[in-house]
């Protein structure tokens, strides 16, 4: 792996090597006052914007298509449109899949650092070599003017408290990243009248932490954001800040403020050209017809799909036969309770199934099953009709379940919606 082939970290190769951003992380765990994340706008080139959100499997398929059309791509990164670690399951699964299938590609990600720390050990093991963290303040008073809130698990912090927690996590993460010999870039958004005189202090601390490169970026006054009326800093102010900060940390001066779905060489983005590939990949169902021959069904009596995933104590496993479908196995569901452990056990129980038919399920088990390439289908109707739709590619919308009444769910695995 040639670590010098990252165009964002090495200006000398920006006309030779390119990058692709995989938009798998829509949620965010902080609210920046300069940010207004708006999807589906090809005319805007700024962070937080994407025309689609991909699942991990869709992202890998998209990467395959991109590399065929643009072999100069050397970097695959995750930069939103939210934050990678507000979406840790999707982020880590995407990186695992890419590391396995494309071991020579450079892996990187851009994050605010709030949720990064618990994943650094695994990231290092996945050969992720470059991380960008956006550090806008080291003083919570200044940070409190930039951040409206920050969420740490289920705890919500506001303004100065949010900034204090975020700064603490960022500094801890940078230290650990450098311990793992991961290349670190710091982005600092220059907000006139807020932190423009503070950027130099950030640069001094980043030198102490042995950060590799710093990117002082002019704030873009995003319409609809809290800072929409603050004027974008002029070239003179930006140049002065970069010159002074450059005394402490090497400065990146060729940033193009990439979208979350950016693709191509820096300054020669091809997102419009690759829009067709992106759209095709979002339409791909999470199933593998060749390698997963079965479908799991949650049914009371073996005729209808009529059980909530959380209340099913067993699953009927069907496969194709010469004259239709055949019940090949009955597998018992994991015991209720245990939160994610229950759904991870279920995922392993039906790992050879391309889909699971159920009358309803919660968001969390749905997410875990989808990440494993098992398509959860909510429907009501005859089992054979559902199997027809899955195996033959029929229309499942006509079987869509009516609103489920959760009062009948006996499961306690925290998966009921």
Annotated domain spans of the chain? 3-282, 294-408
Residue 381 CA: distances (Å) to CA of 39, 321, 323, 389: 36, 21, 21, 12
Maximum alpha-carbon separation in the chain: 76
pLDDT score, position 261:
79
**Whether 216 contacts 227, CB under 8 Å:** no
Question: For the whole model, what pTM was predicted?
Answer: 0.68
CATH annotation of 3-282? 3.20.20.70
Cβ-based neighbour number of residue 70 at 10 Å: 16
Output the tens digit of pLDDT for each of the chain's 417 residues.
555 767 677 666 666 777 888 999 989 999 999 987 654 443 344 566 776 788 888 888 888 888 888 888 888 989 888 999 999 989 999 999 999 889 989 899 999 999 999 999 999 999 899 999 999 999 999 999 999 999 998 899 999 999 999 999 999 999 999 999 999 999 999 999 999 999 999 999 999 999 999 999 999 888 888 898 999 999 999 999 999 999 999 998 766 567 777 777 766 666 666 666 666 666 655 444 457 899 999 999 999 999 999 999 999 999 988 788 999 999 999 988 878 889 999 999 999 999 999 999 998 898 888 878 888 999 988 999 899 888 876 666 565 544 434 333 444 333 433
Say how far apart CA 27 and CA 210 lie, in whole Å: 30
Q: What is the model's pLDDT at position 12?
A: 63
CATH architecture assigned to 294-408: 2-Layer Sandwich (3.30)
């Amino acid at each position: 792996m040639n670590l010098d082939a990252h165009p964002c970290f090495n200006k000398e190769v920006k006309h030779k090597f390119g990058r692709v951003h995989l938009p798998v992380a829509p949620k965010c765990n902080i609210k920046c006052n300069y940010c207004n994340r708006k999807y589906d706008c090809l005319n805007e080139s700024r962070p937080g914007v994407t025309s689609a959100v991909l699942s991990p499997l869709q992202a890998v398929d998209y990467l395959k298509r991109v590399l065929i059309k643009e072999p100069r791509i050397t970097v695959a990164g995750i930069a939103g449109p939210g934050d990678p670690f507000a979406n840790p399951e999707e982020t880590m699964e995407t990186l695992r899949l890419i590391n396995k299938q494309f071991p020579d590609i450079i892996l990187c990600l851009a994050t605010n650092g709030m949720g990064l720390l618990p994943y650094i050990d695994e990231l290092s093991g996945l050969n992720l070599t470059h991380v960008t963290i956006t550090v806008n303040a080291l003083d919570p008073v200044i940070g409190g003017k930039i951040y409206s809130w920050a969420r740490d698990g289920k705890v919500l912090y506001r303004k100065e408290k949010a900034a204090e927690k975020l700064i603490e996590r960022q500094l801890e993460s940078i230290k650990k990243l450098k311990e793992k010999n991961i290349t670190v870039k710091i982005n600092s958004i220059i907000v006139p009248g807020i932190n423009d005189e503070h950027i130099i202090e950030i640069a001094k601390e980043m030198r102490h932490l042995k950060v590799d490169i710093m990117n002082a970026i002019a704030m873009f006054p995003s319409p609809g954001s809290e800072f929409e009326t603050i004027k974008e800093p002029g070239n003179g102010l930006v140049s002065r800040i970069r010159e002074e900060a450059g005394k402490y940390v090497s400065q990146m001066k060729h940033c193009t403020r990439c979208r979350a779905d950016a693709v191509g060489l820096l300054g020669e983005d091809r997102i419009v050209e690759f829009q067709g590939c992106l759209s095709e990949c979002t339409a791909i169902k999470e199933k593998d017809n060749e390698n997963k021959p079965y479908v799991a069904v949650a049914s009371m009596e073996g005729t209808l799909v009529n059980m909530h995933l959380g209340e099913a104590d067993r699953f009927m496993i069907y496969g194709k036969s010469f004259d239709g479908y055949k019940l090949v196995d009955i597998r018992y569901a994991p015991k209720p309770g245990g939160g994610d452990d229950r759904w991870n056990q279920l995922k392993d129980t039906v790992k050879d199934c391309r889909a699971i038919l159920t009358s309803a399920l919660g968001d969390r088990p749905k997410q875990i099953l989808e990440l494993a390439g098992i398509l959860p289908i909510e429907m009501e109707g005859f089992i054979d009709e559902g199997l027809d739709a899955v195996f033959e590619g029929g229309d499942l919308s006509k079987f869509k379940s009516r609103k489920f009444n959760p009062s009948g769910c006996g499961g306690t695995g925290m998966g009921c919606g």
